[in-house]
Amino acid sequence: MSQLLLTTLPNIPLVKNGDDIASLVLSGLRDAAIELRDDDVIVIASKIVSKAEGRVARLSEVTPSARAMELAQETDKDAREIELMLQESSEVVRARKGLIVTRHRLGFVSANAGIDHSNVEEGADDFVLLLPLDPDATAEHTRKQVARETGKQVAVIIADSHGRPHRLGTIGVAIGCAGIPALEDWRGRQDLFGYELKYTDIGLADMLASAATLLFGQAREGTPIVHVRGATWFGKHGTARDLVRPQQMDLFP
């Protein structure tokens, strides 16, 4: 029988600028009495990575550009927040009342450039959280630190909540990945009846990120790190950038 076991790590404190993510992971594993094995997966909410990297912005210190002011008129959104979206993105894909969709500097398309007000600081109206600078690099760094401390080769995924263009509801997706194939190419494998798969790619890192996000929660849960055991994969390790559809293949930009 196949089994996938996901466990939240307890006693994770409120993360602040300069905190070491790998140390938080190792402390949480000890408190959960989990002894790591090779090929375990650690999924980390992007929000605590951003906090550890000091990616908190104060809106009162932001001066909006002319383009931000123009979009604020079009969308009824805060021009200061829009200015941060522009700084974080390579282009604005869509804009309407109450919504801006951008192509983030990391490559993916999402609402508001991933900028978030929730669980940032006390007095959150004036603070927003930006996405990590390089989540793939942070995932790899964390993976190496955990390996040095434990001798175990694990995978690390950094997850964020994204909406989808043709379905309601946010889900967890991988914005950082190390030690696991983010995207598995199943072409050439056979189904139950011997049919050879020709077009099947599996977003493995996104699937694990979404499963862990069920345990992260979106409000007061305080469980931003999840240990996963039982995931299987084949092929070379990759990064979350492997999941970004090239623009020339995107029929719905």
pLDDT in tens, 61-72: 999 999 999 999
**Residue 116: alpha-carbon gap to chain centroid:** 13
pLDDT in tens, 19-45: 999 999 999 999 999 999 999 999 999
pLDDT of residue 156: 98
**Percent of the chain scoring above 70 in pLDDT:** 93
The single residue listed with the structure tokens 């194939």 is 181
pLDDT of residue 74: 95
Domain ranges (residues) in the chain = 5-55+132-245, 56-129
Do residues 114 and 88 lie in contact, with contact meaning Cβ atoms separated by under 8 Å?
yes
> Rounded to whole angstroms, how far apart are CA atoms 85 and 68?
9
Where does 56-129 sit in CATH, by number? 3.90.1660.10
pLDDT level of residue 201 (50, 70, 90 thresholds): confident
> Rounded to whole angstroms, how far apart are CA atoms 29 and 45?
16
Where does 5-55+132-245 sit in CATH, by number? 3.30.1330.100
**Using only C-alpha atoms, what is the Rg of the chain?**
19
pLDDT in tens, 81-92: 999 999 999 999
Laid out side by side, the sheet with 155-164 consists of 5-8, 225-229, 41-45, 155-164, 167-178
For residue 240, the 8-state DSSP code is G
